[in-house]
Amino acid sequence: MGLIARRVEADGIPTTSLTSALSITRSVDPPRAVFLDYPLGHTAGKAKDPEQQREVVAAALAAVDELEQPGAVKMLPYRWSRDDDWKRETMLGGDARSHRSSSPEYQCEADRALAVAAGDCPTCVFL
Amino acid sequence: MTTRRPPVDHIVRTRDLYSGLGHDPYRWVRNDGSPPWTELRKPLRECRVGLVGSGGVYRAGQVAFHHRDDISLRVIDTSVPVSELRTSHFAYDQTDARIDPNVVFPVDTLHALAAEGVIGELSPRAYAFMGGIYSARRVRDVLAPEISRRLAEDQVDLALLVPV
């Protein structure tokens, strides 16, 4: 996403990026980023916690006014849990990534039926 | 609260995973030199905000992502209820994103911030794709210019990018 941030910003639209992968963000170096130290899959806050999601997203938006140094990263104070054991488990865990196939992977079979019934997908942009 | 551990190093983690598959060590993009910079042209409370997320979000009725280096985009109408949003991604645990898509694609959150007056509005169109694309070249040469062009067409004043 950092490459996209850099392109959009270079084309004249300011960007602000949330991130939960600090080393990647530092390496790809988007113009502005806001770091939330959570397991991947919760970049904008915890599920069913609209108050925290609001604070996280508001912090990302406020970064546009606060950060003045290109490449700066604002650190959010939230913790995922009382201890940080999830970090060790993340590093030690096996490869849970799915098999790479070229067929669409639907969340549920009902979605496949809907997409097939819809036919052409004008809001799908195949590049 | 116990002592904080340092953040997970996802560069090391990803390299280990790809090496485990017998691939050459994955090389993350490393940009040296200052990133580009554009100033906001109006106060945040007047801004139209564009949302771009890489959590593999699609809307029920759209074609889902495939998991073999898909670089396609889904245009998401931000007026649809989030209960119609789904996720399809090869790499992260989608349990929570499927319970509450706002965790990777904060549509309700941005609408609420617009209602509060923190931002002007959420752009009527948001963009979703599936992150973890192996080829940085295809992102740089194909996907990034396409997203940038669409955000400009939508006349957004600011883009919020939410990677996974």
pLDDT tens for each residue of B138-164 = 999 999 999 999 999 999 999 999 999
Provide the domain limits for residue B105.
43-162
Q: How far apart are CA B131 and CA B128, in angstroms?
A: 9
Residue where the block lists tokens 């007056």: B117
Q: Does B159 touch chain A (CB under 8 A)?
A: yes
pLDDT value of residue B23? 81
Of the residues A105, A116, A121, A126, the best mutation for testing chain B's interface (the one with the most B CB atoms within 10 Å of its CB) is A105
Residue B80: inside a domain, yes or no?
Answer: yes
Residue B29: inside a domain, yes or no?
Answer: no
In chain A, where the domains are located = 2-91
Residue B139: inside a domain, yes or no?
Answer: yes
The pLDDT-based confidence of B1 (bands split at 50, 70, 90) is low
Give the tens place of pLDDT for each residue, A69-124: 999 999 999 999 999 999 999 988 888 888 888 999 999 999 999 999 999 999 99
Q: Which two tokens stand for residue A95?
A: 């490869």
Question: How large is the average pLDDT for residues B125-133?
Answer: 95
pLDDT value of residue B14? 87
- Chain A positions touching B112 (Cβ under 8 A) are 50, 54
Residue B60: inside a domain, yes or no?
Answer: yes
CB contact under 8 A, A105 and B88: yes
- Chain A positions touching B151 (Cβ under 8 A) are 8, 13
DSSP character string of A7-62: HHHHTT--EEEEES-HHHHHHH--SEEEE--S-TT-TT--TT-HHHHHHHHHHHHH
Residue B30: inside a domain, yes or no?
Answer: no
Q: Which two tokens stand for residue A60?
A: 């990302």
Residue A51 has pLDDT above 80, yes or no: yes
B50 by DSSP, 3-state: which?
strand
Residue B106: inside a domain, yes or no?
Answer: yes
Residue B57: inside a domain, yes or no?
Answer: yes
CB contact under 8 A, A61 and B147: no
Residue B61: inside a domain, yes or no?
Answer: yes
The pLDDT-based confidence of B19 (bands split at 50, 70, 90) is confident
Residue B131: which of A1, A60, A82 has the nearest Cβ?
A1
